[in-house]
């Protein structure tokens, strides 16, 4: 699987961004012409990066910073954020808000960070755990498993499902989004070395989906 990253994603043409929806969902790209149709494999990691607003300082509100605060109007901010359509955003599993680092963060912040080698080992163990669970199936990782199979064979138990049911009932999550949250919850459980997702794993998956859009309200 390859990774693609689009920096300043709202600056891309809207129709080009929305063309990513099909391969993100199915892992295939279908090109149709008048007399033929060809299907190409297109499973990839997509990283979309964007500022919180056109001037790029919207996330600095409340921060101690020498930089001037955001000068965008609410309409400018809404127009900018709306360039990433809801259906495309619905297919983004992990949304992370990055806060501009201070000088102290840059000088001292990374000293207690986990080494990449430790993180890589944890990821490898999580992927091995998922691969053992999917042995004998066409799938290797949680993201591969189709939605109906997720619901039928890898659904959540009643207690674990509670945070997700509440989000569905309140309209915060779509049916497609719910499948994706369950897949992420399995990954959270795999990373923690658990056999099944707990309600905390589901809450964590929900939080990862929400945290990047808090400023968009
Ligand atoms: Zn701004």
Question: In angstroms, rounded to a whole number, what is the distance separating the alpha carbons of residues 157 and 177?
Answer: 18
Task: Check pLDDT > 70 for residue 167.
Answer: yes
Q: How far is the CA of 81 from the centre of ligand 1 (A)?
A: 11
Instruction: Encode pLDDT of 82-141 as tens digits.
Output: 999 989 998 999 999 888 777 777 777 666 778 999 999 999 999 999 999 999 999 999
Q: Which two tokens stand for residue 65?
A: 């910073």
The alpha carbon of 67 and the centre of ligand 1 are apart by a number of angstroms equal to: 12
Residues less than 5 Å from ion ligand 1, measured at CB = 53, 55, 58, 70, 72
What is the whole-number distance in angstroms between the Cα of residue 79 and the centre of ligand 1? 12
Q: How far is the CA of 17 from the centre of ligand 1 (A)?
A: 23
CA of 108 to the centre of ligand 1 (A): 28
Rg of the chain's alpha carbons, rounded to an integer?
20
At 193 the pLDDT is 95
How remote is the CA of residue 94 from the centroid of ligand 1, in Å?
23
**pLDDT band for position 59 (cuts 50, 70, 90):** low
pLDDT above 60: residue 57: yes
pTM for this structure? 0.83
Look at residue 214 in the predicted model and tell me its pLDDT: 45
Structure tokens at 110: 């990374």
Per-residue model confidence as pLDDT tens digits over 16-42: 999 999 999 888 999 888 889 999 999
- Distance of CA 57 from the midpoint of ligand 1 (Å): 5
pLDDT over 50 at 217, yes or no = no
pLDDT at residue 216, rounded to an integer: 45
Q: Is the pLDDT of residue 3 over 60?
A: yes
Q: In the predicted model, is pLDDT for residue 65 greater than 60?
A: no
Q: How far is ligand 1, taken at its centre, from the CA of residue 83, in Å?
A: 15
In this prediction, residue 198 carries a pLDDT of 97
């Amino acid at each position: 699987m390859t990774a693609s990253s689009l920096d300043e994603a709202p600056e891309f043409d809207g129709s080009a961004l929305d063309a990513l929806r099909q391969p993100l969902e199915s892992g295939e790209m279908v090109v149709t012409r008048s007399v033929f149709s060809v299907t190409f494999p297109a499973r990839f990691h997509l990283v979309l990066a964007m500022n919180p607003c056109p001037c790029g300082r919207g996330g600095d509100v409340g921060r101690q910073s020498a930089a001037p605060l955001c000068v965008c109007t609410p309409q400018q901010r809404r127009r900018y954020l709306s360039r990433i359509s809801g259906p495309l955003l619905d297919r983004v599993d992990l949304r992370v808000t990055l806060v501009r680092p201070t000088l102290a963060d840059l000088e001292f912040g990374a000293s207690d960070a986990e080494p990449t080698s430790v993180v890589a080992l944890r990821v490898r163990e999580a992927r091995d755990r998922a691969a053992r669970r999917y042995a004998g199936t066409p799938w290797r990782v949680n993201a591969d498993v189709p939605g109906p199979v997720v619901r039928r064979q890898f659904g959540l138990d009643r207690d674990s499902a509670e945070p997700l049911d509440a989000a569905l009932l309140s309209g915060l999550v779509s049916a497609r989004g719910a499948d994706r949250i369950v897949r992420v919850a399995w990954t959270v459980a795999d990373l923690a070395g658990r056999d099944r997702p707990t309600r905390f794993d589901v809450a964590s998956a929900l939080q990862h989906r929400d945290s990047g859009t808090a400023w968009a309200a």
